[in-house]
Amino acid sequence: MLADKGYDSDAIRRQIEAAGAAPNIPPKVNRRWKPCFSPVLYRGRNSIERMFGRLKDFRRIATRDDRSAINFLAAVCLAATVSYWS
């Protein structure tokens, strides 16, 4: 699981490990014990964050104006296609 420095606490790390996932959270500067962290895996998080930022530029998706899940999914697909090709 990828998260940013704001989620770097022992309680959150234990909860992620209890769910069967491996936390990849960059350690805060003031931590004495620095847990394992992979910058290579963390770079993938940046592309996902940018994709959600581009999708939120479309008002219909940011406000979730659609009544049904099918229409919302169609709007997300259209917005993703438009933002990918531009």
Judgement on whether residues 9 and 27 belong to the same structural domain of the protein: yes
Q: Is the pTM above the cut of 0.85?
A: no
Q: Is the pLDDT of residue 63 over 80?
A: no
Q: What is the pLDDT of residue 18?
A: 94
d(CA 62, CA 53): 10
Residues 51 and 85 in one domain: yes
Q: Is pLDDT above 70 for 70?
A: yes
Are residues 28 and 7 part of one domain?
Answer: yes
**pLDDT tens per residue, range 9-28:** 889 989 999 999 988 888 88
- Same structural domain for residues 10 and 29? yes
Four-residue CA torsion sign, 51, 52, 56, 60: positive
DSSP for 9-67, written as a single string: -HHHHHHHHHTT---B-PPPTT-SS-----HHHHHHHHHHHHHHHHHTTSHHHHHT--S
pLDDT tens column, 23-61: 888 888 888 888 888 888 888 888 778 878 887 777 777
Largest CA distance in the chain: 49
Structural tokens at position 48: 């996902």
Question: What domain count does the chain have?
Answer: 2
Q: What is the pLDDT of residue 86?
A: 57
Do 58 and 32 lie in a common domain?
no
The domain in which residue 60 lies consists of 46-86
Do 61 and 32 belong together in one domain? no
